């Protein structure tokens, strides 16, 4: 079954490179979610993602100093997710979701964002 998607974005005032990044992100997510691997494989990346997700949820429920400590833990765990070797292309989704906190931040905002894109290029056979 073919799926066609139209994305309309109003990004006036954005630079050409930023618009290209938005389009690259959209293409990446579409590619990643349409891969045929089984959805429930528990890879090391998925395990790290589950730990990050639990820490994030705990941080959101906490207040004050506890929230700060749990938020710092979630940030460190997001880096662990990205640094864990992937076993399948779906692991890239877990990495992107943890690193961007479910899309709250752009992947290019942090120092490990490029490593996610480098891995994605490797999966699809495109040289940097």
* pLDDT given for residue 73 in this prediction: 93
* pLDDT given for residue 32 in this prediction: 63
7-30 burial, b at 16+ Cβ within 10 Å, e below that, comes to eeeeeeeeeeeeeebeeebeebee
Q: What is the mean pLDDT of each successive set of 10 residues along the chain, which is 128 residues long?
A: 42 65 68 57 92 94 91 93 92 92 82 86 82
Contacts 24+ apart (CB under 8 A), 82-86: 82/112, 82/115, 82/116, 83/112, 84/44, 84/45, 84/48, 85/44, 85/45, 86/43, 86/45, 86/119, 86/123
Instruction: List, in order, residues 6 or more apart from 82 with CB less than 8 Å away.
Output: 95, 98, 99, 112, 115, 116
Query: How many Cα atoms are found within 13 Å in the side-chain-facing hemisphere of 84?
Result: 27
Instruction: List, in order, residues 6 or more apart from 108 with CB less than 8 Å away.
Output: 21, 114
Q: CA-to-CA distance for 46 and 92, rounded, in angstroms?
A: 10
* pLDDT given for residue 76 in this prediction: 94
Q: Which residue has the tokens 């931040």?
A: 105
């Amino acid at each position: 079954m073919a799926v066609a998607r139209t994305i309309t974005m109003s990004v006036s005032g954005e630079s050409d490179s930023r618009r290209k990044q938005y389009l690259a992100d959209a293409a990446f997510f579409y590619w990643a979610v349409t891969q045929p691997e089984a959805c429930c494989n528990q890879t090391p990346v998925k395990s790290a993602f589950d730990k990050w997700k639990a820490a994030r949820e705990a941080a959101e429920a906490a207040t004050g100093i506890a929230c700060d400590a749990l938020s710092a833990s979630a940030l460190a765990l997001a880096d662990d997710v990205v640094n864990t070797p992937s076993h399948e292309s779906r692991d890239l989704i877990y990495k992107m979701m943890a690193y961007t906190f479910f899309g709250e931040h752009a992947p290019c905002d942090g120092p490990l964002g490029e490593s996610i894109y480098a891995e994605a290029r490797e999966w699809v056979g495109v040289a940097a």
